[in-house]
Amino acid sequence: MKNIKAWIALPIIALAGLVACKKNSKDTSVTSVDQTTTITAQKDPALASSEGFFIDDWQPKTFLKPGTTTNVSKPSGNAAVNVTVDYSNVITKVPVSVYGNNTNPFMGQFVTEPVLLKYINDLAPRFLRFPGGGLSDIYFWNGTPGNPPADAPHQLLDAGGNAGTAGYWFGNNTESWTFTLDNYYKALNQTHSKGIITINYGYARYGTSAHPDRVAAHLAADWVRYDKGRTRYWEIGNENFGTFETGYWIDQSLNKDGQPAKLTGALYGLHFKVFADSMRKAALEVGAEIKIGAVLTETAASASNAIPGWNAGVIAGAGSTADFYIVHNYYTPYNANVSASAILATPQPVTSSIMQFVTSQVTGAGAKQLPIAFDEWNIQAMGGTQNTSNIAGIHAAMTEGEIIKNKFGQASRWDLANGWSSGDDQGMFNNPFNKDNEPDADRWNPRPAFYYMYFFQQFFGDRMVASTVEGSADIFSYASSFTSGEAGVILVNRSKTATRVNVKISNFAAGTSYYFYTLNGGTDNGDFSRKVYVNGVGPAGASGGPANYLTVPAGLAPIDGGINVTVPAYGAVFLVADKK
């Protein structure tokens, strides 16, 4: 459910051989930050079923020290909050697939937009989903405008069961405001990303042929053939359990294979098998190995508002043919004008509840646990520019940390660019191709979430390690290790009060210094500042962050005497402690 509308450019990846020489090779005779004299070596935990084959995308990371630094005095006085990191206690290896984002067919033919492409390359999402959202179920990948398949009706039913113009989308639409399928593939190459493709399931419901499920499956299989192994991950449908999704209701008078007017989870599951069979045969023909995902509801609340028994029906109907499960969530109440504190209260409990709910549903159905892709997430607050604010950036950083902690195999934020919608737009960048353009913003101007997610990935290693917070319910810590030996800690403050924090890292051979960036909003627009400041450097205009974010000097302080920082109100600190 959504509105349709230097110093590091990319993480530096260590050679694979570094894993062997660095992993479990800690010197047990040196002193760590908290003066522990014996260092326990890291040991990777067993692979979580919720991560599964997505861990194939894991890569070791080397931390590259900032090119420029400025010496920063540590805050004086006793810290109000203590964070303890256990470098030896690995929670999970971090698949790079959790840093994904969503592209879409309404952000223009952006392969000719060097400004945006540079931002995306700096962000390094690694995975870009397409075509994304509800339009997937009215998207014909090989079609041209005005030429839908002969068995695609001119009208489709909306959430209330009322007929209206179909409004199909086509992969060969070359108009400037949209995005062709071939340009999607070009964008993957230009941004060094892999694809996640959502095929048109709705066509299996509203198609007027004798066997619409087979026709829709054949169309999907032809896409696999056209793809020729470029894409590993495929999804059958979007949020098909929702009344808002095309195909939830169909006009039975046009249907020829006896489908019910309203979709059920069991029927989707049976159709899933038809799609999977056709798509896997096509993959074999082109010598590709693909993974196919099935759509589930993600929380008890979403399940109660969707098709009753959807998950059980899908799991039973699809049987063993699904490779992974797909969930979406937008954290805040739909289109509600909620406060900053309400938004920032959601990442931890909601993310945890999604994983618990889905795994319990699978267990309850007596099925095998599969990897889980969380490939749409954001907030959906309205009325106060929440989506384009610094608060959305803080929420993004917290959610990214919680996604990793809860061991999702893949995740993609919604989305790269939409429009403006008076600040209620969910796009990470201003979209110059949209007539509803953001005022006083440069072409493709990044919004605050970009900066939080950029620094998150730069300062978060390839393994999440355990950390605890004492002294505040508003400070959150996400700690990590780099294969190159450094320790990363991301501290988020969801309160209106700046807080001094002391960080202690046990079982870690500390070096002499720690590097850090502090991010926080401005004084414009109350709690929902449209600006973000990076170590005190802000945007030149009315929104976004500093244009020179790649070269803003990092804060530098000695580890001797402790790692002490001030986490600003509604802000975050991204730090890395150097190794010995």
Domain residues for the domain of 157 are 126-297
**Beta bridge partners of residue 130, listed in sequence order:** 197
Burial 466-492 (b: 16+ CB within 10 A, else e): bbebeebebbbbbbbbbbbbbbbbbbb
**55 and 140 share a domain?**
no
Nearest CA among 326, 340, 408 for reference residue 132: 326
Other CB atoms within a 10 A radius of the CB of residue 225 amount to: 15
**189 and 46 share a domain?**
no
Judge contact between 573 and 490, C-beta under 8 A: yes
**146 and 72 share a domain?**
no
**48 and 184 share a domain?**
no
Nearest CA among 453, 495, 441, 451 for reference residue 473: 495
**57 and 173 share a domain?**
no
Q: Can you give the CATH number for the domain in which 80 is found?
A: 2.60.40.1180
Measured distance CA(492)–CA(408) in Å, rounded: 21
Nearest CA among 156, 287, 281, 158 for reference residue 214: 281
Q: Name the maximum alpha-carbon separation found in the chain.
A: 78
- Picking from 297, 332, 354, the residue at the C-terminal end of a domain is 297
Per-residue pLDDT of the chain (580 residues; tens, 9 = 90+): 444 433 333 333 333 333 333 333 333 333 345 444 689 999 999 999 999 999 999 999 999 999 999 999 999 888 999 999 999 999 999 999 999 999 999 999 999 999 999 999 999 999 999 998 999 999 999 999 999 999 999 999 999 999 999 999 999 999 999 999 999 999 999 999 999 999 999 999 999 999 999 999 999 999 999 999 999 999 999 999 999 999 999 999 999 999 999 999 999 999 999 999 999 999 999 999 999 999 999 998 888 888 999 999 999 999 999 999 999 999 999 999 999 999 999 999 999 999 999 999 999 999 999 999 999 999 999 999 999 999 999 999 999 999 999 999 999 999 999 999 999 999 999 998 887 878 889 999 999 999 999 999 999 999 999 999 999 999 999 999 999 999 999 999 999 999 999 999 999 999 999 999 999 999 999 999 999 999 999 999 999 999 999 999 999 999 999 999 999 999 999 999 999 9
566 within some domain: yes
Q: What is the pLDDT of residue 252?
A: 97
- Picking from 297, 315, 335, the residue at the C-terminal end of a domain is 297
Judge contact between 425 and 441, C-beta under 8 A: no
SS3 544: strand
Structure tokens that stand for 203 in this block: 């066509």
Q: What is the pLDDT of residue 76?
A: 87
**214 and 139 share a domain?**
yes
- Picking from 297, 316, 345, the residue at the C-terminal end of a domain is 297
Write down the pTM of the prediction.
0.93
Measured distance CA(440)–CA(385) in Å, rounded: 15
Other CB atoms within a 10 A radius of the CB of residue 248 amount to: 23
Nearest CA among 387, 378, 462, 476 for reference residue 425: 387
Q: What is the pLDDT of residue 37?
A: 65
**Beta bridge partners of residue 516, listed in sequence order:** 555, 575
310 within some domain: no
**30 and 152 share a domain?**
no
61 within some domain: yes
Measured distance CA(357)–CA(300) in Å, rounded: 7
Q: What is the pLDDT of residue 304?
A: 83
Q: What is the pLDDT of residue 105?
A: 95
